[in-house]
Structure 1
Amino acid sequence: MPLPSPHPLRFGLVAHRRHRQADSGLARWIAACEPAIRALGLGLHAVGGTYDALAGSGRLAGYAPLVRYPFGYEGGLMRLVSHVAGAADPKDALDGVIYLTDPVDPSSIYPEALALKRQCVTHGKPFVSTAAGAIEWIAVELAHAGLGGVGVDGAERLFALQTQTVALIAHDALKDRMVDFAATHFELLSRFAGRVATGTTGSRLNDMAWARGWPKDQNWVRPYLSGPLGGDAQIAELVLDHRCHKVIFFEDPHVARQHEADIQLLERAVCSAGVETTCFNSPMMAHRWAQALGLRPA
């Protein structure tokens, strides 16, 4: 369903130092998406170093919805967390975050970075952590805005499901929602070249597919181990080997997770392969992405 918003969408924007270099994630994203960003009127609330990198590139010159926040060490990232959760001033409220993450940058595990992602998941707002994901998400918003005539360089490759494998993972409290999501978008997900899942989620998804007429002698998803037993790590290796291109991961932000290290390993693998890998970590993100594919021209 569309994001409820009375204003043009506003996203926080953060890029780690490696992604702010020439021909890096931020530069590739803005080169691919600048016309689309302008067409959407997308507000970009950029933390200090990210804003300065954009200004130095000459991109988005004169674009009023580009707003500068303080540097991270001055509290810029902390302000983004507050503005995702619910800003005191409506003009500062954010509808999502693009955070181009370098998994070996120590700041990727700072409390404010972890809180930013958690608040996005908690409030059902997109958290986009890779360059490929940032390009794809702009195309998603174009589709929902009815602006299919505006191009995004590289989006067609990212939407070529027939060449990709998708991972479907859900924490215990969200397994029912994952099965519902897969049932709702069964035909779309069946277009992928392959599907993988961890443990119980995989078993339940196969049961759903067989009930819908999928051949009983074929798995609809290839099941791996459960997350606590190493399934997240197995799928992380597929991501690193470029054998898994999308990760749909329904995270429960409200419970302590005994295998948190495994979850973070998978998320960091996605960021390591971020030139071609995307991750949707909430039901809202996954549904909005799937609906956008239905809105795009065939």
Structure 2
Amino acid sequence: MDRKRIALVAHDARKPDLIGWLGANIHALEGNVFWSTGTTGRLVREAHPQLDITSLKSGPLGGDQQIGAMIAEGRIDLLVFFVDPMTAQPHDVDVKALTRLATLYNIPMACNEATADMVISSPLFTSGYRPRAVDFAAHDSRRL
């Protein structure tokens, strides 16, 4: 199996859902490498110590941007971001920037459990699949 580099993020109200989803899918996820924003990473490590997880800063303290930078550098293969659509987020601009980067760099992004289930159950998840690299040459050479 090709080890996937997976970023885990969850809004406060969705952290238990992410922990539960990881537990329900532990056999499919073991052997991959994970990065997470601070509190989410700590909770994941406590619940699932067998996962190889590195915690970054808390989301509001820059963790979202750290994951965004990793996406831009080609160091993340999948973003699992359990979003709470019912609660206003004080760092909403950071959240939007992170989801924008996942879209821009063409990496899969699961914002809820159903999508995350579809992603990890796909045969592409365990293959050597790599999304098509995005070519920014036209953007980089544009005239202003």
Q: Place the TM-score, normalised by the shorter chain, in its bin.
A: 0.7 to 0.9
Name the SS of the counterpart of 1:252 in structure 2.
Answer: coil
Separation (CA, whole Å) in 1 of partners of 2:109 and 2:118: 13
Q: What's 1:39 paired with? A: none
Unaligned stretches of 5+ in structure 2? 128-144
CA-CA distance at 1:271 after TM superposition? 1.9
* Structure 2 counterparts to residues 149-228 of structure 1, below 5 A: 161-162=2-3, 164-192=4-32, 194-210=33-49, 214=50, 220-228=52-60
Separation (CA, whole Å) in 2 of partners of 1:161 and 1:263: 28
Name the SS of the counterpart of 2:48 in structure 1.
Answer: helix
Pick closer, same or farther for the CA change 1:282–1:161 going to 2, 3 Å.
farther
Please say if 1:257 is aligned against 2:97: no
**Greater RCO, 1 or 2 (C-alpha within 8 Å, sep 6+):** 2
Q: What's 1:279 paired with? A: 109
CA-CA distance at 1:245 after TM superposition? 1.2
Q: Residues 4-24 of structure 1: CA distance to partner in whole angstroms, max 9, x if unpaired?
A: xxxxxxxxxxxxxxxxxxxxx
Separation (CA, whole Å) in 2 of partners of 1:228 and 1:287: 27
Separation (CA, whole Å) in 2 of partners of 1:235 and 1:190: 20
Q: TM-score, normalised by structure 1?
A: 0.40
CA-CA distance at 1:284 after TM superposition? 1.4
Unaligned stretches of 5+ in structure 1? 1-159
**Counterpart residue identity of residue 289, structure 1:** V
**Counterpart residue identity of residue 291, structure 1:** S
Report how many aligned residue pairs link the two structures. 125
Identity of counterpart residues, as a percentage? 26
Q: Residues 193-238 of structure 1: CA distance to partner in whole angstroms, max 9, x if unpaired?
A: x21011111001111122xxx3xxxx72100111111100000000
Name the SS of the counterpart of 1:288 in structure 2.
Answer: helix
* Structure 2 counterparts to residues 46-85 of structure 1, below 5 A: none
Q: Does the aligned pair in 2 maintain the 1:169–1:198 contact within 8 Å?
A: yes
* Structure 2 counterparts to residues 34-45 of structure 1, below 5 A: none
Q: Does the aligned pair in 2 maintain the 1:199–1:231 contact within 8 Å?
A: yes
Name the SS of the counterpart of 1:228 in structure 2.
Answer: helix
**Counterpart residue identity of residue 204, structure 1:** L
Separation (CA, whole Å) in 1 of partners of 2:111 and 2:58: 18
Larger Rg: 1
Please say if 1:234 is aligned against 2:73: no
Q: Residues 37-95 of structure 1: CA distance to partner in whole angstroms, max 9, x if unpaired?
A: xxxxxxxxxxxxxxxxxxxxxxxxxxxxxxxxxxxxxxxxxxxxxxxxxxxxxxxxxxx
Cα RMSD, aligned residues only = 1.9
Among 101, 104, 110, the residue aligned to 1:269: 101
Q: Does the aligned pair in 1 maintain the 2:31–2:52 contact within 8 Å?
A: no
Q: What's 2:139 paired with? A: none
Q: Does the aligned pair in 2 maintain the 1:250–1:283 contact within 8 Å?
A: yes
Q: TM-score, normalised by structure 2?
A: 0.79
